[in-house]
Amino acid sequence: MSLVERDLDPITFEVVKNALDSIADQMALVLMRSAYSPIVRDSLDYSTAICDWQGRMVAQGLTTALHLGSFPFAMRNLVEKQQGLMRPGDVFLFNDPYGSGGMHLPDFYVIKPIFLGEEVQGYATTLAHHTDVGGLSPGAIAVHATEIFQEGLRIPLLRLYAAGEPNETLLAILEHNVRVPRKVLGDLRAQVAGCYRGEQAYLELLERYGVPTFWRYLEAIQAHAERVMRAEIARLPDGTYRFTDFIDGLGEHPEPIRFQVAITIKGDEAVVDWTGTSPQVKAAINAPGPFIYSATYVPFRCLAGRDIPNAEGYMRPISVVAPAGTIVNPALPAAANARGIVGFRAMDAVLGALAKAVPDRIPAGSEGGATNISIGGLSHGEPYIFAETVMGAWGGRPDREGIDGAANLAANQSNQPVEFIEADNPVEILRYGFVANSGGPGRFRGGLAIVREYRLTADEGFLTFRTDRRAHPPFGVQGGKHGTPSWNILNPGPHQRILPVLPLQGYQMRRGDVFCHLLAGAGGFGDPLVRDAARVLADVRDEKITRDYARSEYGVVIRPRTLALDDKATAALRQKMRRRGRARRREDTHVAHFDRALADALAIDAGPAALDGRKRDRPRGRRQTPRRSGSR
């Protein structure tokens, strides 16, 4: 135990620690059950946290991991500016990334100081992604915005409630500057309700233990979190580990956007340096500082396991260098509403670097992060906005397959149920499922790609989206192959239009138009030729891969009529493939199989790669895939 913990009761310590986690989760449940919009209620794009009297996070709800490191920035700003000015009943609201500790404009922070008498004893904090904040396009995820002033309402640190009384002026401004005020104001009230639940439960703990004793346990939680993280970092080999990854780029003729990370491990501390990362861009994907800190912390938090508290103390041994003016730390007036993709790619880059330090503990690349899709306009004279995040596929792991249809590591969110989408919006879901041959081959294959197809049933709609991982698909590790590319297709078929991953425009849709989005398939872990043949057979029987794919990528021969394994032919084929080095020389054969499978799934004559009319390039940057020295 640390000095602050030696005279504390270990049982009470566990009770208090778990009670704080429970409070954060209770806040999350209240928020979810009270929310009006699907992006909060069904996609679960929100977070909750409890902070101590100094504004330091001591617990976070089981919600969006990429929000994890943002609360400290927001709280430092609030405490610095409002200390001594807060009164019981105050509730604060802000979203501005430049000066208020926000991450992007759709994410509203609602924070309630918790008073016992006249003294602040803690804070109940919530963050939720709102359906609309005004700006260029419905849903506020317009990649083509070139400055933050085009993206919607910038809210500095303001009182939403002052001494318990609502700020009617602020509420009126919000109501008149968003397209769907009922959903926005409803979600805002849900955040306030979550804060009130957090306040109530936190005060119950305070009254149970008394202020001096309770403060000591809060300090002990911070110290414990720091100690556990330092011990985890100390287990990593000292050295500097580098990794490079890319976002495909912007518009019809994209140029790759570079993520360069160097992680230096020295004893029980880590320095994560983003020097060499691309400069900020004139598009909405720039990620303000708090978000990149979150993306940096998440992989270390995953390494530390489940026992470490979600308290700010675990961040202390991790230093982050994010050069100003880059895509990971932009300067005003850089646009940022679509910044999520930068956070996901930054986390992938950190995982790639850590894989060089501990290759047997890090998975292959995931689907690349959540896709954001928005369709908005007028239906029967009323504004509507359909907005959702779509994920997911995990990369192959050191001891098991990647997961099909799971939330991304960085975002504990959910794909919206088809029935809810169709009930709330003039949108019909034509297709939702997995695509065969899409997970990267490996000893443990990557998770399968998901296809989602939307048909507009209103007279008109304006489509915007944020996607990635086409030219730079998810990486494989330890000899596993990379995953398969993402696609955006307007009106699939012979006359389909292939849309960019990050378009510098929105697209007008008419009644009956179809938008098809395909997530990337995740990368594989380990040599595909040592994968258990029984697992390959099971995937064929489940129609996750085809027989030809099993033969080409895994060297597994399956009899066509009985779908039984031919052990003798499999052994001979694998020996032949190893001798010829085929698994390494023909790295991209699985992508051709995937393209044919996708064409079959969409009932078109050829897959998007063929109909796109452009030569498929080998994925740039793939040489950065982490491999153990001497591996296949």
What are the tens digits of pLDDT across the range 108-154?
999 999 999 999 999 999 999 999 999 999 999 999 999 999 999 99
Report yes or no on 408 lying in a domain: yes
pLDDT band at residue 621, thresholds of 50, 70 and 90? very low
Q: Is the pLDDT of residue 65 over 80?
A: yes
**Average pLDDT in the 19-46 region?**
96
Mean confidence (pLDDT) of the chain: 91
How far apart CA 133 and CA 150 sit, in angstroms, is: 11
Q: Is the pLDDT of residue 632 over 60?
A: no
Give the model's pLDDT for residue 123.
98
Q: And the tokens for 138?
A: 């419905």
Give the model's pLDDT for residue 483.
94
3-state secondary structure 327-368: CCECCCCCCCCCCHHHHHHHHHHHHHHHHHHCCCCCCCCCCC
Report yes or no on 559 lying in a domain: no
Domain end: 229, 252, 285, which one? 229
Return the bridge partners of 400, or none: 397
Inter-CA distances, 450 with 43, 230, 534, Å: 16, 38, 24
CA angle 241, 242, 244 (to 5 degrees): 155
pLDDT band at residue 619, thresholds of 50, 70 and 90? very low
Pairing of strands 257-266, 269-273: antiparallel
Q: Is the pLDDT of residue 18 over 80?
A: yes
Domain end: 229, 259, 279, which one? 229
For 200, other C-beta atoms within 10 Å of its C-beta total 13
- Are 278 and 258 in contact by the 8 Å Cβ rule? The answer is yes
- Are 273 and 292 in contact by the 8 Å Cβ rule? The answer is no
Q: Work out the end-to-end distance of the chain between its first and last CA atoms, rounded to an integer number of angstroms.
A: 45
Q: What are phi and psi of 254, to 5 degrees?
A: -70, 145
Q: And the tokens for 12?
A: 């009470």
- Structural domain for 420, as ranges: 371-527+594-611
pLDDT band at residue 581, thresholds of 50, 70 and 90? confident
How far apart CA 570 and CA 293 sit, in angstroms, is: 48
Give the model's pLDDT for residue 595.
77
- Are 293 and 320 in contact by the 8 Å Cβ rule? The answer is yes
| Element holding 454 (H helix, E strand) | strand 450-456
Report yes or no on 382 lying in a domain: yes
pLDDT band at residue 631, thresholds of 50, 70 and 90? very low
Q: Helix, strand, coil: what percent of the chain each, to 5? A: 35, 20, 45
Largest separation between any pair of C-alpha atoms in the chain: 79
More confident: 180 or 304: 180
How far apart CA 63 and CA 410 sit, in angstroms, is: 10
Give the model's pLDDT for residue 626.
34
Give the model's pLDDT for residue 424.
93
Give the model's pLDDT for residue 404.
94
pLDDT band at residue 5, thresholds of 50, 70 and 90? low
Domain end: 181, 203, 229, which one? 229
Tell me what percent of the residues of the chain surpass a pLDDT of 90.
Answer: 83
Report yes or no on 109 lying in a domain: yes
How far apart CA 39 and CA 25 sit, in angstroms, is: 18
Give the model's pLDDT for residue 587.
54
Q: Which residues of 502-528 are buried (b: 16+ CB within 10 A; e: fewer)?
A: bbbebbebeeebbbbbbbbbbbbbbbb
Angle between helices 10-34 and 181-209 (to 10 degrees): 160
Owner of token pair 């979190």: 225
How far apart CA 465 and CA 346 sit, in angstroms, is: 20
State the total domains in the chain: 2
Q: 103: closest CA among 272, 274, 250, 293? A: 293
Pick left, alpha or beta for residue 254 (phi over 0 → left; psi -120 to 50 → alpha; otherwise beta): beta
**Average pLDDT in the 105-110 region?**
97
Q: Minimum mean pLDDT among 43-57, 171-185, 304-318, 524-538: which range?
A: 304-318
**Average pLDDT in the 74-95 region?**
95
For residue 6, the Cα-to-chain-centroid distance in whole angstroms is: 39
Tell me what percent of the residues of the chain surpass a pLDDT of 70.
Answer: 94
Q: Is the pLDDT of residue 612 over 70?
A: no
Report yes or no on 491 lying in a domain: yes
Q: Is the pLDDT of residue 630 over 60?
A: no
More confident: 555 or 608: 555
CA dihedral 364, 367, 370, 375 (to 10 degrees): 170
**Average pLDDT in the 469-493 region?**
94
How far apart CA 389 and CA 515 sit, in angstroms, is: 15
**Average pLDDT in the 415-432 region?**
95
How far apart CA 110 and CA 195 sit, in angstroms, is: 8
Give the model's pLDDT for residue 6.
64
Residue 184 in 3-state DSSP?
A: helix
- The secondary structure of residue 445, as a DSSP letter, is P
How far apart CA 426 and CA 378 sit, in angstroms, is: 10
Report yes or no on 310 lying in a domain: no
- Are 278 and 342 in contact by the 8 Å Cβ rule? The answer is no
Q: Is the pLDDT of residue 188 over 50?
A: yes
Report yes or no on 17 lying in a domain: yes
Q: Is the pLDDT of residue 586 over 90?
A: no
pLDDT band at residue 413, thresholds of 50, 70 and 90? confident
Any residues with CB less than 8 A from the CB of 188 and at least 6 apart, and which? 93, 108, 110, 130, 160, 174
pLDDT, one tens digit per residue, over 193-239 is: 999 999 999 999 999 999 999 999 999 999 999 999 999 999 999 99
| Element holding 260 (H helix, E strand) | strand 257-266
Give the model's pLDDT for residue 524.
97
Report yes or no on 364 lying in a domain: no
Q: Is the pLDDT of residue 307 over 90?
A: no
More confident: 206 or 5: 206
**Average pLDDT in the 575-591 region?**
73
